[in-house]
Amino acid sequence: MDATDIRAIIAGYHPQSDLTVLPQLQRWEGKLTARERYRRVMNFEPVDRLPNYEFGYWHECYAVWQSQGMSKAVIDENRANIYFGFDEQLNIGLHYGLQPPFPTRILEVKPDGRKIVVDGDGVTCEVFSDNASTIPHYIDWSLKTPEDWKSFRERLDPKSPERIPANWSHRIEQLKRRTCPAGIYFGSLPGWVRNWMGFEGICMAIHDYPDMMEDIFHRLTDVIVGVLERMLPGTDFDYAYGWEDISLRSGPIIAPSYFKSVLLPCYKRITDVLHRHNISTIYTDSDGDISLLIDPWLEGGLNTFFPVERAGATDPVELRKRYGKRIRMIGGVDKMALREGPAAIKAELERLAPVAYEGGYIPHVDHRVPPDVTYENYLYYLDLKHQLFGIPKLC
C-alpha cells in the first residue's frame, strides 16, 4: 500500500480533507516499514530508528506558525503530519456513543458569535464559533439521577445497527495491505460518563447512586465489548486505544480503590476481547498524574500509557524505573520545554533518550502543542528529535 492509498483511507474518515500540502521535512529514513517498527518498539525489540509521531496542535498554532514561516497550506493535523514528514498510522474509530444521540438545538446566538447549544449528549454548553481550541463552557449536565439514566440506557444498545461502519469488510481488506500501524478505538468508561454528568456530578453520584454508577459502567462495557466482538474478527490491528482523562495534577479524580473494585473488571472484559484478537499494545489517554491508576490499569489488561503528561507530574523516566518493561509509553516530552527554547528542549530530550533507547517508548510532546511555542522552537525540537532518535541504527 503506498502513501496515496493511505491518504485515501484517511480521507475516508475525514471527508473534508484535501491533502495537497507538500512536505517541508523529509520523512526519517529507515529499512523497516512503519508497521514493523511500531510493533518492534512496543515489544522492546531492536529497530532501525524510532517511530516519528506527534500528538497534535492547538488549532491556533496554524495561524501563529504561518505568521512565523510555516506554509499557509498547513491548516489542520492531517496536513501538518505530511508537512513535518511524520510516519503514518491509522486510528480507526467505532461508534460506542449514544444511539440515537439526543436532539441537538441552538438555544441562543450571542453578538460575538458564541452559541448556547444542547449537544448530542443532551448537555447544555456555550461554544465558540472560531474553532478555538478551548473547551466549551458547560452550563448544565444531562445525566444527574437514575431517572435520567433510563433514557441514556435505552440509547446504549450494543446491537444498534448504526454502530457498524459502512463497507467494514472492504476496509478490513484495505487495511491488510497497509505498511503503517493501525489501531482500533475502544472508547472510554468514566471519562465518557464525566462528559454526561460533569466532574462534580460523577464524584457525587459515586456516593449518592452507587448502583446506578455500576450499571452505567457495565452497560458501557457491554456496548464496547459487543461492538468489538462484531468488528474484530478477520482484523489484524497493531494496537487498541481509548481515552479517560480522569486525573488532575494532584492525582486521580476517582479513588484507586473504587477504580479497582468497579472499573477494573470492566477493563478486563474489554481487554480480554482485544487479547483474543491478538492486540497486545493497549493504551488509554489520560492527562494529569496517573501514577496511582497504573497498577489497576495494568491489572485490567492495559499496558501502554499516553500522553504521559509532565505538567501532570507523570514522567517516563520515573515510570520506567518503577515498572520496567511492564509498561510502554507514548509522549512524555514536556511541552513547557518547547516554550522555553533550545537549551530546555535539548535537556529534556537528552534526559528521555536512555528510556527511548531501551524500547517500549515513543517520545513526543506530552499533549497538543500550544500556540505560545514558537515555530522556530518546534522546528528545533523536531530536528533534535531526528538526530537523537531518527538516524538509522542508532536505536
CA–CA dist 121, 195 (Å, integer): 8
Q: Which of 173, 200, 299, 358 binds another protein (CB under 8 A)?
A: 200
Span interacting with another protein, options 16-24, 115-123, 134-142, 147-155, rule CB under 8 A: 134-142
Per rule CB under 8 A, is residue 204 in the interface with another protein? yes
CA–CA dist 205, 120 (Å, integer): 22
Span interacting with another protein, options 10-18, 39-47, 83-91, 245-253, rule CB under 8 A: 245-253
Beta carbon nearer to another protein, 51 or 190: 190
> Which SS3 state, helix, strand or coil, does residue 333 take?
strand
Beta carbon nearer to another protein, 91 or 250: 250
Q: Please report, as residue ranges, which positions from 327 to 346 form the binding site for another protein (by CB under 8 A).
A: 335-336, 339
Per rule CB under 8 A, is residue 269 in the interface with another protein? no
CA–CA dist 127, 113 (Å, integer): 9
Q: Please report, as residue ranges, which positions from 353 to 372 form the binding site for another protein (by CB under 8 A).
A: 370-372
- H-assigned helices in the chain: 3-13, 34-42, 60-67, 77-83, 146-154, 168-176, 190-197, 199-208, 210-231, 256-258, 264-276, 294-299, 316-323, 335-340, 342-358, 375-389
Per rule CB under 8 A, is residue 140 in the interface with another protein? no
Per rule CB under 8 A, is residue 136 in the interface with another protein? yes
Residues 311 and 289 sit within 8 Å (Cβ to Cβ): no
Beta carbon nearer to another protein, 154 or 372: 372
Cell 507530574 identifies what position?
Answer: 313
Contacts of 215 (CB under 8 A, 6+ apart): 149, 153
Per rule CB under 8 A, is residue 248 in the interface with another protein? yes
Per rule CB under 8 A, is residue 209 in the interface with another protein? no
Beta carbon nearer to another protein, 178 or 335: 335
Per rule CB under 8 A, is residue 73 in the interface with another protein? no
Torsion sign across C-alpha atoms 54, 56, 60, 62 = positive
Write the CA distances from 391 to 48, 52, 89, 286, 344, integer angstroms: 8, 11, 20, 30, 22
Per rule CB under 8 A, is residue 253 in the interface with another protein? yes
Per rule CB under 8 A, is residue 307 in the interface with another protein? no
Beta carbon nearer to another protein, 134 or 145: 134
Per rule CB under 8 A, is residue 254 in the interface with another protein? yes
Would you state the cell numbers that stand for residue 33, as one nine-digit string? 516499514
Would you state the cell numbers that stand for residue 287, as one nine-digit string? 492527562
Beta carbon nearer to another protein, 134 or 278: 134
Per rule CB under 8 A, is residue 375 in the interface with another protein? no
Residues 280 and 42 sit within 8 Å (Cβ to Cβ): yes
Q: Which of 72, 110, 150, 249 binds another protein (CB under 8 A)?
A: 249
Span interacting with another protein, options 19-27, 132-140, 151-159, 222-230, rule CB under 8 A: 132-140
> Number of residues in contact with another protein, rule: CB under 8 A?
31
CB of 127 to another protein, least distance (A): 10
CB of 284 to another protein, least distance (A): 18
Contacts from 164-170 at CB under 8 Å and sequence distance 24+? 164/227, 164/230, 164/231, 165/94, 165/95, 165/231, 168/231, 169/234
Q: Which of 85, 146, 251, 265 binds another protein (CB under 8 A)?
A: 251
Residues that bind another protein (CB under 8 A): 58, 60, 134-137, 199-200, 203-204, 206-207, 248-255, 258, 288, 292, 311-312, 335-336, 339, 370-372
